[in-house]
């Protein structure tokens, strides 16, 4: 494992404010009006779709894919900002959030097929696809398997190329003993609503819940923390962790042909920041941005900076 001094330095040393302040914009929206069930391979998938933008009907939509032990709400800091200019789509991957487990088991290729099928059902020919962590892995797989669907790609602390995940060697995670431990660990990871609310309300509770994932969990809005904690303990967590450690697509990453933005935090404890450089080296048209003093979820930790960078990338 590289030492601390070997970590890539931040390319955005002044990332601005941390989190979104006392009244984030997403609190003012009734998100239930945008949620619909879609049936994919006989299973229900929970999909958020803000619908075609009335003023920009020809604009490519934005598709947001969450990470491991997460849900569509991990994009709450982006959705209000970009739905003003774009059609925004987010989903709970099968086995996470409110979506059912897939009938044929969890795989990165299967997740890519699910996203492709959702976009087909929504009538979306191509989109800018943004994925965090495992969602970045899925987004990259989508760009490889279904290149016509992905006009632009944004990889946010994306899994897929690292030799470690959540601080553990991938060899351990995919070993039968590691997989068994994962089933127990992730099975116990769910937090009841009452406890989630109690943790989120307390600064030390937020640190306990998200201290490994973020650099300053106490600064996150309690309502957002409550939403994030709600994504844990889902049935897809253990098999998805094994798939993260098992599925190797490194030889196909150079096939990604669309413009790609890579965003990472320099203190990421889950997926090493060195992976940002690996993706940048392998993808022909890619560039990386590394945020200082930022962990595994830059879009939630530095939403103002992330939204500005994403908007600039879309405008290129």
At 196-219, the pLDDT tens digits run 677 777 877 788 789 889 999 999
pLDDT band at 40 (very low <50, low <70, confident <90, very high): very high
Pairing of strands 88-91, 127-132: unpaired
CA distance 52 to 54: 6
> How high does pLDDT run on average in the chain?
87
Give the pLDDT mean for 112-122.
98
Bridge partners (DSSP) of residue 153 are: 129, 260
pLDDT band at 32 (very low <50, low <70, confident <90, very high): very high
CA distance 285 to 261: 9
- Of these ranges, 18-22, 44-48, 56-60, 243-247, the one predicted with the greatest mean pLDDT is 44-48
* pLDDT over threshold 50, residue 30: yes
First-to-last alpha carbon distance for the chain, in angstroms, is 36
Q: For the whole model, what pTM was predicted?
A: 0.89
Please write the tens of the pLDDT for every residue from 224-234: 998 998 878 78
Let me know if domain 4-162+249-315 sits in CATH 3.10.180.10: no
CA 150 to each of CA 115, 155, 256, 311, 312: distance values in angstroms, whole numbers, following the listed order: 11, 12, 9, 17, 18
CA distance 146 to 131: 15
Domain ranges of the chain: 4-162+249-315
Residue 188: the pLDDT is: 38
Q: Where are the beta strands (DSSP E) in 215-284?
A: 260-265
């Amino acid at each position: 494992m590289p030492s601390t001094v070997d970590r890539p330095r931040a390319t955005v040393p002044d990332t601005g404010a941390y989190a979104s302040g006392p009244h984030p914009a997403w609190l003012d929206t009734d998100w239930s009006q945008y949620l619909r069930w879609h049936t994919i391979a006989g299973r229900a998938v929970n999909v958020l779709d803000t619908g075609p933008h009335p003023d920009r009907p020809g604009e490519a939509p934005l598709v947001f894919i969450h990470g491991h032990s997460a849900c569509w709400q991990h994009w709450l800091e982006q959705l209000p900002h970009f739905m003003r200019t774009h059609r925004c789509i987010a989903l709970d991957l099968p086995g996470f959030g409110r979506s059912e487990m897939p009938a044929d088991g969890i795989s990165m290729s299967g997740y890519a097929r699910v996203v492709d099928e959702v976009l087909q059902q929504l009538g979306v020919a191509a989109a800018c696809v943004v994925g965090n962590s495992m969602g970045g892995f899925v987004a990259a797989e989508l760009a490889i398997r279904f290149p016509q669907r992905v006009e632009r790609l944004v990889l946010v602390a994306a899994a897929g190329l690292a030799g470690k995940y959540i601080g553990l060697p991938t060899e351990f995670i995919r070993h039968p003993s590691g997989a068994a431990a994962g089933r127990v660990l992730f099975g116990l990871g769910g937090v009841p609503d009452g406890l989630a609310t109690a943790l989120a309300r307390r600064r030390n509770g937020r640190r306990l819940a998200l201290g490994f994932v973020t650099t300053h969990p106490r600064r996150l809005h309690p309502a957002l923390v409550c939403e994030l904690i709600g994504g844990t303990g889902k049935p897809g967590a253990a098999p998805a962790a094994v798939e993260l450690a098992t599925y190797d697509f490194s030889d196909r990453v150079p096939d990604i042909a669309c413009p790609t933005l890579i965003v990472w935090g320099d203190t990421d404890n889950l997926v090493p920041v060195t992976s940002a450089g690996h993706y940048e080296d392998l993808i022909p048209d890619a560039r990386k941005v590394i945020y200082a003093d930022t962990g595994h979820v830059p879009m939630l930790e530095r939403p103002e900076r992330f939204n500005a960078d994403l908007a600039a990338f879309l405008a290129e």
